[in-house]
Copies of this chain bind each other. A is one copy, B any other.
């Protein structure tokens, strides 16, 4: 029985259970972090022991002292979730409210935690023959411990159990956030609340709501009702916000609102065009995507009076210490350039350029946020002279900015590397360390100013139906990046743990897995069998980046988001399996690998035969049939290569056909790309030694 060594070393280096653990100063060797366990994020320290605590219907919970409401509610949820996943029908429907001698799980908590950046979130969790003991300085730490316990649930033929273990856990970064864009496509309250539950399950602690943008103003204003009324219909009422903030707080999560100014501002101007920089313009909320010109007029006092009254109304709804003011992508400044009054104002006040004008805007805006006793956050473009030292800068463009910003004394958040809307593989986001390796030599005080990061879920190409599938499970991997020690970066182990982590999220009402079924059934039509679509969805991923809407001329806010690419996802399962098998096969793997490859290739070929009937009944599937045909041709090529065992054995014409099949399979279709083409290309290039059939 011994502590995981590299972790121990790290803990010694960092100061154990410090409320704010500074980031480690170097990248340790990557190592499987929690062999056999499905914990995500991996705890800072853990130690296994032989033995297990068997679960039965007598499972019970007690508290050393009367439980505060938030923790009691969390313990009740644990009871319900554990009972649901084991079907044991616990005798006790509710935990005890105070001590219960002999309770299976005993919880000892010091105090109620404050929902502020840097609060103590540590906990210890011990499962042994005396039962389960969870200890934490604050109820926030205890809530994290409850999630860890749920992740420990295991089973064998004899039943359900928790393995004996001793965990001492604390986060690497204090700010572990998810930004959700509810402006491009509105996300109803239940989307927010279920994602809050999922965030809590992976120990995230900040929900950043991007509430306004060119396409919509998503919060009710009683002071300026034309803000929400003139803006694309759907918005959160004050009651909705109250519900969201309370729901989040009950799970230890802060809610930071973003009101994007002075750009991304069309929806402010639809009802109040006098705030805009183009006098007489009749603004309507954008239905397209991209970067728009409309921008607030920073030269008029009335603009600031408006914003001051607006903030006075809405900021009290959000108790958090921060408000996010956006400030991004004022790229061209066209409306400022073309407004003579603004140009005159700049000249008169010695404001050299748009950059300086935005700095001027921010300085004046700060009076309003100060009055509401809020610190500000902004995207990295807000880094201008005069930015107060309390401001927090969110980096999205350039990792070097992170070091520059924190070097200037500002605290910062990292979002570069965490743009999950771009549909890159989980591995990329997982390995995007906010600090390392570039920051390995930063002084500790600068490291401490890197508070953490946020996954950003922009919503141009998602709606309430499939947004969960874009956020999860990738955000669990980002949560681990922000919570676990930096050396926890083994990709295979991460992917191994990601599947059960993802599966467990369904018990919270997440639709990240079921939305694919729903869309596939819709695509197949009422009479069609969606099974062939699932075979394809297991190997195709949506185009990365802005690939599906390259020239902003395909997708608008009213466009459907229930097609093949909307059901497809990053890291499709069978593609990962195929590529892994191919890697092993090409590395000299046994015949079993070849059999596995053959089985998958045969499946894809057979599947293509089922497509014509499906397309006949559901004509929208024509582009999917093209994808299927290309996959079939690719599979036939791969099968031939596996059978001959060597590309050398192909004659020129066959080689040409193989090249053509591979080239065709690389073409996008139905908004997606096949994720198995490189593996076949490597097979072709491998000159693998021939093997008997």
Contact = CB atoms under 8 A, between A and B. Distances in A.
Chain A: interface size category? 35 or more
B465 A560 contact: no
Interface string A174-192: 0000000000000011100
A287 B92 CA distance: 11
Contacts of A155: 525, 617-619
A156 B188 contact: no
Interface stretch (A478-486, A515-523, A627-635): A515-523
A632 B584 CA distance: 39
Given A503-B521, A526-B504, A560-B84, A616 B156 contact: yes
A500 B518 contact: no
Contact of A620 (B86, B521, B554): B86
A157 B86 contact: no
Interface stretch (A132-140, A506-514, A657-665): A506-514
Count the copies.
Answer: 2
A261 B642 CA distance: 75
A84 B559 CA distance: 8
B522 A507 contact: yes
B514 A620 contact: no
A499 interface: yes
Contact of A562 (B503, B507, B514): B507
A682 interface: no
Given A507-B522, A509-B465, A527-B500, A560 B89 contact: yes
B517 A83 contact: no
A300 interface: no
Contact of A87 (B287, B517, B526, B563): B563
Contacts of A94: 558
A301 interface: no
A157 B612 CA distance: 9
B527 A506 contact: no
B619 A160 contact: yes
- The 3 A-B residue pairs whose C-beta atoms are closest, nearest first, are A93-B558, A500-B526, A239-B239
Interface of A: 38, 79-80, 83-90, 93-94, 155-160, 188-190, 237, 239-240, 287, 464-465, 499-500, 503-504, 506-507, 509, 511, 513-514, 517-518, 521-523, 525-527, 554, 556-563, 615-620
